[in-house]
Amino acid sequence: MELLQVADAVAREKNIDRDEVLEAMEQAIQKAGRSKYGHEHDIRARIDRKTGDIHLTRHLEVVEAVENEATQVTLAYAQRRKPGAQLGDFLVDPLPPIDFGRIAAQTAKQVIVQKVRDAERKRQFNEYKDRTGEIVNGLVKRVEYGNVTVDLGRAEAILRRDELLPREHFKNGDRVRAYIFDVREEARGPQIFLSRTHPMFMAKLFAQEVPEIYDGIIEIKAVARDPGSRAKIAVISNDSSIDPVGACVGMRGSRVQAVVGELQGEKIDIIQWNQEPATFIVNALAPAEVAKVVMDEDNSRIEVVVPDDQLSLAIGRRGQNVRLATQLTGWDIDILTEQEESERRSDEFRTRSQLFMEALDVDDVIAHLLVAEGFTSVEEIAYVETEELAEIEGFDEDVAEELKQRALNFLDEQDVRMTEKRQALGVEDAVAEVTGFSPTLLVKLGENGVKTMDDLADLAADELRDILGKEAPTEDEANEIIMAARAHWFDGEEGAPAAAQPSADDQAAQS
């Protein structure tokens, strides 16, 4: 019974199952038994769960042909000892109890300690593996090289130096609140990683301070942090009668101040989330005022125009405000002053007008009218509907047709010039066939050293897109072009693009 009392005490102290402790003891006794009777024998130990009695036995397996005499016996021998024995059965011989010597007792203790430790680690991992994303409280146990070990009561966690707020220092015995961002099972046991810089730490703090967030009435849509300095949090209310920003701020700022206090004075901008990207981005740039925005949805870029006196406020100290707004919204934000935007518009107007005057051989009045109507390239004029062009004030169908014809003639002449230039640069015809690019884009490739199929095949998709600039294909299209250029590496036909190699199905269809 004394053995059972020890097992109960260890199980309570380590908060693990009593059976796991008893199994560890059985393995320790088993190891000691093999040390005494020989490691080659199959010796097993069992502790009676009710009386605490130890049963030590040797097992012999009944086999057809004996390979190991220490653990196996023949069927004939087994049936002499135990009538009715069959292949696969075991003969069990009881052994006298072991009188543990000093060495055997030490070995047994090591086995028990190790097994109990393994069981404790398994329990810790199972307890914390599903708690990722929670806030926990603990006591600082030790600090080594800036890394803080936190005692959570039933486990230890690590708060690395780079997960602490700047200028934040803890000493032994301090209370600490942090966010569990990862739980990993490693060789030395489960590792629980904490963070005080993670954006979700701030979101969870708000959920603790604001009942409406906890109840799901207010939803946190995005968080961006510059830990210890400034943060932005976007919120939306699912109840039109509740102001999400006001609820998060609280009476006289009590709720937000509780979060700010936990984050060592980190300034927090609470922003109303909006499904319209332009409105959301304008909100995210608060406290700066925005005059207008120009969106490029394909590339998730937006140009924000602000009054001249608002530029420094919009950018923030060391670009902090615009950087946090970019993280919060997921859009790349370019900020211009009204004067810069006006100057750029004037430059673009002059450049486009000059382009139309030279390409279409028209005077500045017609060129200005085309630019004012939003035309940005000769291609747009060449392929626009005649009726749409004729609707411009001062134009009629004859003028529209003439402008379209001049635009088409210019593009044809340009293609001829660019084809000659492409050939002079040494860009192979095969590259033109496999890409399907215009002569202008092929010249860009040639100017950047991409002249053969192998040159094209050596590129990555992002390199190809960088070379081509604004007229670049999408990433998927770029990958398809590059894979087509690599086809000749695999089919053994040097220089042949994939498109030029008919498949077996195509040949069958032709025949």
Q: How confident is the model at residue 286 (pLDDT cuts 50, 70, 90)?
A: confident
Three-state DSSP class for 67?
coil
Q: Which of 458, 459, 466, 461 is nearest to 478 (CA)?
A: 461
Three-state DSSP class for 408?
helix
The token pair at 61 is 């397996």
* Cβ neighbours of 69 (radius 10 Å): 9
Over the stretch 16-60, which tens digit does the pLDDT of each residue have?
677 777 777 777 778 777 877 778 888 888 888 777 777 888 888
- Residue boundaries of the structural domains of the chain: 1-122, 130-195, 426-489
Q: How confident is the model at residue 201 (pLDDT cuts 50, 70, 90)?
A: very high
Using a pLDDT cut of 90, give the percent of the chain over it.
14
Q: What is the pLDDT averaged over residues 424-439? A: 83
Q: How confident is the model at residue 195 (pLDDT cuts 50, 70, 90)?
A: very high
Contacts of 115 (CB under 8 A, 6+ apart): 20, 23, 24, 27, 28
CA distance 279 to 272: 10
* Residue 82 CA from chain centroid, whole number: 65
Q: In a 10 Å sphere around its CB, with 0-12 CB exposed, 13-18 middle and 19+ buried, how is residue 255 labelled? A: buried
> What's the pLDDT at 434?
81
> What's the pLDDT at 231?
92
Q: Concatenated DSSP letters for 340-404?
A: HHHHHHHHHHHHHHHHHHHHHT--HHHHHHHHHTT--SHHHHHHS-HHHHHTSTT--HHHHHHHH
Over the stretch 58-116, which tens digit does the pLDDT of each residue have?
888 888 888 888 888 888 888 888 888 888 888 888 888 766 555 545 655 666 677 66
CA distance 168 to 11: 38
Expressed in percent and rounded to 5, the helix, strand and coil fractions of the chain are: 50, 20, 30
Q: How confident is the model at residue 507 (pLDDT cuts 50, 70, 90)?
A: very low
| Residue 196 CA: distances (Å) to CA of 78, 297, 322 | 67, 34, 23
> What's the pLDDT at 220?
92
Q: Which of 183, 201, 202, 200 is nearest to 192 (CA)?
A: 183
| Residue 279 CA: distances (Å) to CA of 178, 235, 273, 286 | 33, 14, 9, 11
Q: How confident is the model at residue 237 (pLDDT cuts 50, 70, 90)?
A: very high
CA distance 328 to 51: 65
Q: Which of 34-38, 203-207, 347-351 has the lowest mean pLDDT?
A: 34-38
Choosing among 3.90.180.10, 3.40.50.300, 2.40.50.140, 3.50.50.60, the CATH entry for 130-195 is 2.40.50.140
CA distance 433 to 424: 17
Over the stretch 261-283, which tens digit does the pLDDT of each residue have?
989 888 999 999 998 888 998 98
> What's the pLDDT at 203?
92
Quote the radius of gyration of the chain (alpha carbons, Å). 39
What top-level class would CATH report for the domain 426-489?
A: mainly alpha
Choosing among 3.30.1480.10, 3.90.800.10, 3.30.1330.60, 3.40.1190.20, the CATH entry for 1-122 is 3.30.1480.10
> What's the pLDDT at 508?
41
In the 8-state DSSP scheme, what is residue 298? Answer: G
User: Using a CB cutoff of 8 Å and minimum separation of 24, what contacts does 374-381 make?
Assistant: 376/352, 378/407, 378/410, 378/411, 379/407, 379/411, 381/356, 381/407
> What's the pLDDT at 503?
41
Do strands 54-63 and 72-74 pair parallel, antiparallel, or not at all (unpaired)? parallel
Whether pLDDT at 374 is above 70:
yes
Q: How high is the mean pLDDT of the chain? A: 82
Q: How confident is the model at residue 232 (pLDDT cuts 50, 70, 90)?
A: very high
Q: How confident is the model at residue 15 (pLDDT cuts 50, 70, 90)?
A: low
